Structure 1
């Protein structure tokens, strides 16, 4: 294993920031939790976590193949990822007063429906796509990852979002009131958007 604890801790922190940013997963989780409680929401959280574990594999093996062809690809990809993350942060700040809505298709009963809904939400989430495909190379040396490194990355990608989403589902009563307050949503979006911009600057400058 070539990764040390500081690298994994930095990556876990970035995953936590990604989770704290309101987006499609938040809206889907709140919609299911409001309609069916925690029992309806946890399968969606599990589906999201499985998708979060699959994205690093796609990024690692896809980027590794490109590295073999283009020596400078990692450098350009790091800057592109930082730019994308900054744009997401600025977009959140721009629409800071927008309150996440609900989608009735996400509230169908049953654990299988919840799991598949979570998997589809994360696989089609542009925020997740940009994070894993654009920013993962900024955290790790993709060309030198061992099997244990890949397992550690996938475990973190699974565990961090799952933990956060399960907590959010468990506190859905408070979350529902919070998300219905325009002022609270505005402040949270400003903070989360600013954090994404800061993370982007950190990646670009290191």
Structure 2
């Protein structure tokens, strides 16, 4: 390896700071955790891993042309992702008095729905690659990295956000577990629905 542990540690610290910056992923995790607990949120966190692996790899490989070449595709992807979250938010608000378990339209997709939502929210923000394009060169000399270097960078890029997202989902899920009254259920579902709609409205402009 051409990069040292201290460089990797500094990069991991930067990712921790990035995690604590609220954004669409936070809102999406909060919405699913409030509506279905940790079991509904952790698949989304796994879906986010796809982008957490893809964007750093593209940055390392230096494919800066992808933003311009696939600009139309990314725009379409943002629209699809936006529509998914708007629909989910609408359904939660419309059935705010019901528990999530009683609404088969929300529970039927299950784990795969959460995973797909995670993929959508992270890939629906193609500017993430611009962040990595600006950050990675500041920590590593990308002209000299080897395969083990790339593997180490990608592992950190995946593991740090994943641990943060899972812990965040667990915390929100635990808070949700104490909200058992009908009024609390209604407020929880409305809050989750509003958060999902916010995600859907934000994605096209990110």
Fold match (TM-score > 0.5) = yes
User: In the alignment, is the contact (CA less than 8 A) between 1:57 and 1:154 conserved in 2?
Assistant: yes
Taking the TM superposition and a 5 Å limit, the aligned residue runs for 1:1-206 are 1-62=1-62, 104-105=87-88, 108-109=106-107, 110-125=110-125, 128-172=128-172
CA positional deviation for 1:134: 2.2
CA positional deviation for 1:50: 2.4
Classify 1:12/1:127 alpha carbon distance in 2 versus 1 (closer, same or farther; 3 Å): farther
Q: TM-score if structure 2 supplies the norm length?
A: 0.62
Classify 1:130/1:165 alpha carbon distance in 2 versus 1 (closer, same or farther; 3 Å): same
Over the aligned positions, Cα root-mean-square deviation in angstroms equals 2.5
Equivalenced residue count is: 141
CA positional deviation for 1:64: 8.8
User: In the alignment, is the contact (CA less than 8 A) between 1:168 and 1:175 conserved in 2?
Assistant: no
CA distance in 2, matches of 1:15, 1:52: 11
CA distance in 2, matches of 1:128, 1:22: 14
What stretches of structure 1 of length at least 5 have no aligned partner?
A: 66-101, 177-206
Classify 1:140/1:16 alpha carbon distance in 2 versus 1 (closer, same or farther; 3 Å): same
CA distance in 2, matches of 1:2, 1:160: 21
CA distance in 1, matches of 2:25, 2:140: 26
CA distance in 2, matches of 1:162, 1:175: 20
Classify 1:169/1:27 alpha carbon distance in 2 versus 1 (closer, same or farther; 3 Å): same
CA distance in 2, matches of 1:142, 1:151: 13
When Rg is computed on C-alpha atoms for both structures, the one with the higher figure is 2
Classify 1:43/1:142 alpha carbon distance in 2 versus 1 (closer, same or farther; 3 Å): same
What stretches of structure 2 of length at least 5 have no aligned partner?
A: 66-84, 93-105, 177-206
CA positional deviation for 1:125: 2.7
CA positional deviation for 1:11: 0.4
Q: TM-score if structure 1 supplies the norm length?
A: 0.62
CA distance in 1, matches of 2:116, 2:146: 31
Any idea what the Cα deviations from partners look like across 1:37-71, whole Å, max 9, x if unmatched?
A: 11110000011122101111111112599xxxxxx
User: In the alignment, is the contact (CA less than 8 A) between 1:63 and 1:142 conserved in 2?
Assistant: no
User: In the alignment, is the contact (CA less than 8 A) between 2:59 and 2:129 conserved in 1?
Assistant: no
